[in-house]
Amino acid sequence: MTAMLSLERLSVSFAGEAGPSIVVDDVSLTLEKGEIFGLVGESGSGKSTIANAVMGLLPASATTSGRIQLNGRETTGLDENDLRNLRGREMSMVFQDATTSLDPTWSVGEQIAETLRAHQSLSRGAARARTMSLMHEVGIPNAAQRYRDPPHRFSGGQRQRIVIAAAIANEPKLLIADEPTTALDVTIQAQILELINGLRHQHGTSVLLITHDLGVVSETCDRVAVMHRGRILETGPTRDVFGNPSHPYTRALMAANPAWSRRGSRLPVVPREWSIEEVRHD
Amino acid sequence: MSALGFIVRRIGAAILSLFAMSILVFLIIRLVPGDPVRTMLGFRATDENVARLQHELGLDQPMLSQYMSWIAGLFRGDLGQDIVSHAPLSELLLQRLPVTLELAGLSMTLAVLFGVPLGVLAASGGPWSKRLTEGFVVLGISIPDFWLGIMLVLVFSGILVVLPPTGYVPFAQSPLENLRYMALPVLTLAIGEAAYVLRTTRGAVINVMGRPFVTFLRAKGISPRRILFGHALRNAGPSIVTVVGIQVGVLLGGAIIVETLFALPGVGRLVVTGINQRNYPVVQVGVLAIATIFIVVSLITDLIVGWLDPRVADGMMQ
């Protein structure tokens, strides 16, 4: 069985004033079908760059090497048109801040329907009907009345549901979720994770979940990769990685998580030798 | 429901502005140093003649009752009389207003038709389109109307001899001739306006293209053309419409110069002639008409912005 997504020795660097800076360094990983794969690490560790590389959304200043295969198909050499056909249909992405992910001047229904009509030849009416069932599926009540409402009339959590509805409208096989719950409060976070988990169960969607929140990973991911400074330090089933971390950075990261540290004791921080800021200026 | 509330609020604000503006127009004439009647009649006027004209114009009455009778007249469609020709001002205005409206309307339409597409091109195109449009913007904004007008006359009437330099034919009399006479004045105003519209469109579109929702649109596989015209331009719309609305005011000011330059019988020229003749009821009505146009245009601008951006109609942004 071919993997849903496989990265082979992927490196991404950006041209900068002081020469190129390597943001993703020789990363290989595979994401199986129907799996939720967690990519954890601090800000600046290269997680989002991997997501953008897979989506083909890197800026022109980025240089990529290595291979990316989506469902057995090489996507690294594809031109913008072919990539656009894959985006929103084969693979989709949800971003951190749902309040800025939607066009404020379009109604939410139109924004979901637009994604449908970009990839399928649907009539206006059919797209509208499908949109309403999608809104219902992601948990927006009264979809028929709310179809014409602009995004600002929805709460943050509801907007993230609408973003997810737009992302999964064409039933993509791969969903990349880049910090999808970071901007939301804890109870809403759990609901959104449940929604993403439900997609996997109902549609067999594979999910690449990018987060810095180890609690989120341990609750939802089958497997996890720990990233630091553009490299993957450790990868494996979530239970193994967190139950018996083999890499000192993973242990340091776990120790710094308030949820897993002992009440009343001083919260450890990630040691200096692992601090991204410290190492960068070497 | 909230949309209706928004419309009602904006119309209410426009009526208030009209009211405040009528007081301002009324006062400015009367607060200017010197007695307008003495200015009109000259320094050799007898006290008797001054008193007679003051009575004729109602200037011997208290300010408040003068204002009330003026406003009451406006509501009846009686704008007063030209004190030189004794013609009713309502008739005069009815003759002059269409000329100014045509001049301003055609100029702005032309400016939008060129400025918006070129602005989008400048925002999305390559470096050459940026440089070309930048050059046009700098020239269009910095060249003064009166100089541009004279140069256009020189080229199109003096050298090429294809368009008449001055004069006017009413549209109803001969639409084609009317447009021939309007071509140069309209072009004079439109070039500068197009530069402003272009610059605003370019800035607004570039701003929108950098926002996160554009990345999400790309991640959904929406085509670049649709992102540009369906989303970026729609989001840039409120800024463009607002600038167009403000520029209509500038255009009406420019119309005074251009109407004088091309001998167009519009409201602008009416005001200039009125000032020269100390014909202050004419000045008062001319300024009132131009200011009313501006307030009505601002109202329409606000309503369009509210329609383009639902957040404005919901009162989230001003």
Q: Do B222 and A115 touch (CB under 8 A)?
A: yes
Q: What is the mean pLDDT of chain B?
A: 88
The residue from B76, B110, B133 where one domain ends is: B76
Name which of A106, A269, A118 is nearest B234 in CA terms: A106
CATH number, domain containing residue B155: 1.10.3720.10
* Residue B287 is assigned to a structural domain of this protein: no
Model pTM?
A: 0.84
pLDDT lower than 50: segments of chain B:
1, 318
Give the A-side interface with B, CB within 8 Å.
55, 57, 84-89, 92-93, 95, 97, 100-106, 114-115, 118-119, 150, 152-153, 163, 166-167
* Residue B308 is assigned to a structural domain of this protein: no
Tell whether B142 and B69 lie within a shared domain.
no
* Residue to test with chain A: of B205, B209, B211, B213, most A Cβ within 10 A: B213
* Residue B144 is assigned to a structural domain of this protein: yes
- Confidence (pLDDT) at B317: 57
3-state SS assignment for residue A92: strand
* Residue B285 is assigned to a structural domain of this protein: no
Residue A138 in tokens: 């992601």
- Confidence (pLDDT) at B316: 66
Provide, as residue numbers in chain B, all residues whose Cβ is less than 8 Å from the Cβ of A86.
221
Tell whether B257 and B118 lie within a shared domain.
yes
- The answer to whether the CB of A118 falls within 8 A of the CB of B223 is yes
Tell whether B162 and B40 lie within a shared domain.
no
d(CA B300, CA A168): 40
Name which of A169, A152, A153 is nearest A114 in CA terms: A169
Angle at B246 between CA B312 and CA B238, to 5 degrees: 30
Tell whether B131 and B215 lie within a shared domain.
yes
ipTM: 0.89
Q: Per residue, what are the HEC states of B76-115?
A: HCCCCECCCCCCEHHHHHHHHHHHHHHHHHHHHHHHHHHH
- Confidence (pLDDT) at A129: 95
Q: Is A4 exposed, middle or buried (0-12, 13-18, 19+ CB in 10 A)?
A: buried
- Confidence (pLDDT) at A275: 63
Q: Which of B212, B230, B234 sits opposite A95 (nearest CB)?
A: B212
* Residue B169 is assigned to a structural domain of this protein: yes
- Confidence (pLDDT) at B28: 81
- Confidence (pLDDT) at A262: 67
Q: Which of A85, A92, A101 sits opposite B212 (nearest CB)?
A: A101
Interface A–B counts its CB contacts (< 8 A) at 80
Q: Which of B220, B237, B316 sits opposite A92 (nearest CB)?
A: B220
Provide, as residue numbers in chain A, all residues whose Cβ is less than 8 Å from the Cβ of B316.
152
Q: Which of B219, B308, B316 sits opposite A152 (nearest CB)?
A: B316
Q: Which residues pair with A26 in a beta bridge?
A: none
d(CA A107, CA A116): 15
Tell whether B233 and B119 lie within a shared domain.
yes
- Confidence (pLDDT) at A278: 42
d(CA A211, CA A183): 12
At A82, give phi and psi (nearest 5°).
-65, -40
Q: Do A104 and B309 touch (CB under 8 A)?
A: yes
Question: How would you classify the pairing of strands A5-14 and A21-31?
Answer: antiparallel
Q: Strands of A36-40's sheet, edge to edge?
A: A91-94, A174-178, A206-211, A36-40, A223-228, A231-237
3-state SS assignment for residue A185: coil
Angle at B256 between CA B100 and CA B85, to 5 degrees: 80
Tell whether B6 and B104 lie within a shared domain.
no
Q: Can you give the residue ranges of every domain in chain A?
A: 97-171
Provide, as residue numbers in chain B, all residues whose Cβ is less than 8 Å from the Cβ of A165.
none
Domain count, chain B: 2
Residue A221 in tokens: 């991911």
Residues 6+ apart with CB under 8 A from A202: none
Which range marks the domain in which residue B274 is found?
96-278
Question: How would you classify the pairing of strands A206-211 and A174-178?
Answer: parallel
Residue A158 in tokens: 């509801």
pLDDT lower than 50: segments of chain A:
278-282
